[in-house]
Amino acid sequence: MMHRTLYFIFFFSTLCHAQVQNLKEVVLKAQRIQSSIRPMSQTDIAQDSLLLKQEIGELIQYVPSLFVSSQQNFSQDTRISIRGFGTRATFGIRGIKVLWDGIPITTPDGQTQLDHIPLSSIGTIEVLRGVSSGLYGNASGGVITLKSTQINNEQTLTATFGDFGTQHLVGSYGFKNEKNLFRVVLEHKKHNGYRHWSGYENSLLALSNTFLSNNGNKLSVDYSYFNSPIALDAGGLTAAEVKENRSQARQRNLNYKAGEKVKQHQFTTRWQSKKWTAYGFFTKRNLDVKLPFEFGGQINLKRSYYGLGIQKDGRKKQWLWQYGAEAAAQRDGRNRFKNILGERGTATLDQSERFYTLGVYGIVELALSDWRFRASLRADTHYIKLVDFMGTNSDKKNLSAYSPHVAAFYSFSPTLSSYIRWGTGFETPSLNELSSNPTGETGFNNVLRPQQSQEIEVGIQLKTKISDASLTVFTTTTQDEILSYELSAFPGQDFFRNIGRVDRKGIEATANLLIDETTTLKLNYSHGTYKTQDGNDLPNVPGIQFNAGLNHLFGKTNVSLNIRHVGKRYADSKNLVEVPRFWAIDLYSQSKWGITTWTLGICNITNANYYDNIRINAFGGRYYEPASMRQTFARVQVQL
């Protein structure tokens, strides 16, 4: 199967040389250094692919070796893993760095939530696959860079309605002149959910203002407010419960009223000149969570994190370089209470957790005829502190890491190139992982250690006016891999442990092909093994993924057909419970009529039975969160 797919990809790449229309160029930002080459595995998603989707996870789930889950559990947010990094996330994204216009939205301890990102403001997405700590430091098993759309003089109103009570209303106002760019976005979402007790509702305000100077410098100031008063958690089911009724909620989640409430304020600023770039950010996030058990089953988390960074770019003859420094701090006020069937009981935990980080880095690139050589080195130090207000388990620790990265790039011709790279990665336990103490006591789980990785990657790239294809082979070794598990005494609560060595090996193939003036074809395939030192596969990491997207323009109507296959994976570390493979097909159409744009979508056309999320090592066999069956939506956008 793999060999036939690769042959198909490159066979079409050759055929497409007969066409004349160009594929769109995408400016690379995720690699930090402003270079024209790409000596690492990277996927770029242009804006025209983003306009058809409803959630961020839908935009990136077609990237090879990238797996998206929990797209329909808005209490836990979208989870993303790249080459198996990030698979243990309990809430949101773990182990992957995410940036929004060059500013990290990932917390210093390595956690990311995407619920406050306005989908309508995303212009392009770049995904770096593989360890990238030499560029971005802690928790960089991969990098996702989101870039906002250009601000123009335009005002739009967008309304989306669909199955299961889907409502999504967006208003956007943009203003542009020679000195100033301004945009305000208002969003409101509401969804009843496919499963019982899985609905959500949230609102978002996003303001963006950019000041332009006569000498080319610019200063951007952004603010966003996110409010989610309700996001319910239907919980995991057993296989028997899924067979009985896949849309039901777990009874215990109903009894304890499982779910969360979120409020977040975020302020960012970015200054940019020809050689210098600096940024600063401050985020305050308040979270109230109800979990399906009594002792410690209600959490109140008051989180603030902030930071700044500065970098300088340089160029002289055949040399290109960048160096910079970044500092960030995170403060979590964590309180836990008894959950008395949804009502708050007495306090069980009261502690202040802090995570401080400082990183400095340098990147240099040398061009010699057809060769390019790149090297980077980053040094990071972390100070972690806990103050226990209810006991005597206050603690502190210092962690540090040096992350080198080297790459060589060779150009056979203007259209064909290859590269080899070696890099390292490290990932500290997050504050949430450290504070989940399996002893039941307050304080940190001091047995938990950082995980460290080394990766070698070889790739070949073909890029013409009408085709963009790549083939990548990687091998990664991780020591002290961190994985989640549950205990019978605390069902529904995740704990974490080091499981030793994990070996990741895989092959990835991609092709973006222009068949004719009205038709494009995108193909992605990945085949990997993710083995622990016991010879078992990492849970919830599919070994095989295949994606195909066919896009055709019928007059004024653009039709997109997407096919996705996810192969075998396991729900537990011992590989005793296999999660079935599945195929899913989505169909979208978009038409422009005057000042309106109409979009229709049918997701999961064939009514495939598959799972939106797998709860790794769940106690009692409650692994499964079923995905919705066929789902339709309609959207209209009016440009005023």
Pairing state of beta strands 103-104 and 66-69? unpaired
Give dist(CA 97, CA 92) in Å, integer.
12
Torsion, Cα 521 118 310 330, to 10 degrees, reads: -120
Give me the residue label for tokens 């002289």. Answer: 316
Question: In sequence order, what DSSP letters do the residues of 441-488 get, joined into one string?
Answer: -SS--TT---EEEEEEEEEEEEE-SSEEEEEEEEEEEEES-EEEE--T
Tell the residue number behind the tokens 């959910």, with chain if given. Answer: 193
Residue 131: its pLDDT value, please?
A: 93
Contact 342, 290 (CB under 8 A): yes
Alpha-carbon distance of 372 to 367, in angstroms, equals 5
Give the pLDDT score at 145: 93
Task: Say how far apart CA 310 and CA 105 lie, in whole Å.
Answer: 16
E-strand spans in 259-297?
259-272, 276-290
Lowest mean pLDDT among 50-64, 443-457, 513-527: 50-64
Residue 278 backbone dihedrals phi, psi, to 5 degrees: -140, 150
Write out the DSSP string of 504-537: EEEEEEEEEEEEETTEEEEEEEEEEEEEETTSPB
- Mean pLDDT computed over every residue of the chain: 91
From 110, 3, 21, 67, select the one nearest 519 (Cα to Cα).
21
pLDDT at 82 over 70: yes
DSSP state of 246: T
- Phi, psi torsion values for 577, nearest 5 degrees: -120, 110
What confidence tier does 494 reach under pLDDT thresholds 50, 70, 90?
Answer: confident
- Mention every residue, 6+ apart, whose C-beta is less than 8 A from residue 451: 426, 427, 478, 479, 480, 481, 482, 498
Residue 93 token pair = 């994204």
Residue type at position 46:
A
pLDDT tops 70 at residue 329: yes
Helix (H) / strand (E) element for 242: namely helix 239-244
**What is the structure's pLDDT at 9?**
38
pLDDT tens, position by position, 59-72:
888 899 999 998 89
Do residues 351 and 387 lie in contact, with contact meaning Cβ atoms separated by under 8 Å?
A: yes
Question: Which residue ranges form the domains of the chain, and what is each CATH number?
Answer: 2-639 (2.40.170.20)
Please write down the long-range contacts of 181-188, taking CB distance under 8 Å and 24 or more positions apart: 181/151, 181/208, 181/209, 181/210, 181/212, 182/151, 182/208, 182/209, 182/210, 183/121, 183/151, 183/207, 183/208, 183/209, 184/208, 185/118, 185/120, 185/121, 187/118, 187/120
pTM of the model: 0.92
Which of the four pLDDT bands, split at 50, 70 and 90, describes residue 28? low
**What type of residue sits at position 355?**
F
Q: Measured between alpha carbons, how far is 309 from 327 in angstroms, rounded to an integer? A: 6
SS3 299: strand
When pLDDT is cut at 50, 70 and 90, the band that residue 283 belongs to is very high
Residue 323 or 31, more confident? 323
Mean pLDDT, range 423-448, rounded to an integer: 87
Q: What is the pLDDT of residues 255-271, one digit of tens each?
A: 999 999 999 999 999 99
**What pLDDT does 3 receive?**
44
In the prediction, which pLDDT does 10 show?
40
Please answer whether residues 95 and 86 qualify as being in contact, where contact means their C-beta atoms are separated by less than 8 angstroms: yes
Sequence-ordered list of residues with C-beta below 8 angstroms from that of 462, at least 6 positions apart, any chain: 10, 13, 415, 416, 468, 469, 470
The tally of CA atoms less than 13 A away on the side-chain side of residue 138 is 29
Residue 16: band (very low, low, confident or very high) from pLDDT cuts 50, 70, 90 = very low
Exposure string over 229-261, b if 16+ CB within 10 A, otherwise e = eebbbbbbbeeebbeeebbbbbebbbebbbbbb
The whole-angstrom separation of Cα 124 and Cα 126 is: 7
Closest by CA to 215, choosing from 176, 177, 179, 181, is 179
Residue 403 token pair = 């992350």
Average pLDDT of the residues in 532-551: 96
Most confident of the following: 2-11, 114-123, 148-157:
148-157
| 51 strand-pairing partners | none
Using the structure block, give the residue that is written with the tokens 């207000």.
Answer: 389
Nearest to 157 by CA among 184, 195, 175: 184
Structure tokens that stand for 153 in this block? 């003089």
Residue-level pLDDT at 583: 98
Both tokens of 603, joined, read 């997701």
Contacts of 552 (CB under 8 A, 6+ apart): 518, 519, 558, 559
Secondary structure, 3-state, 482-493: EEEECCCCCCCC
Question: Does residue 530 surpass a pLDDT of 90?
Answer: yes
Among the listed residues 204, 223, 324, the one whose alpha carbon sits nearest the alpha carbon of residue 269: 223
Residue 619 DSSP one-character state: G
In this prediction, residue 49 carries a pLDDT of 62
Strand order in the sheet with 97-100: 42-45, 122-129, 142-148, 97-100, 103-104
**What per-residue confidence (pLDDT) applies to 292?**
94
Q: CA geometry: angle at 12 spanning 9 and 14, to 5°?
A: 115
Please say if the pLDDT value at position 30 is more than 80: no
Two structure tokens written together for 411:
């150009």
Write the CA distances from 617 to 90, 156, 540, integer angstroms. 12, 46, 10
Q: Please enumerate in sequence order all residues whose Cβ is within 8 A of that of 245, keeping only pairs 6 or more positions apart, or say none.
A: none
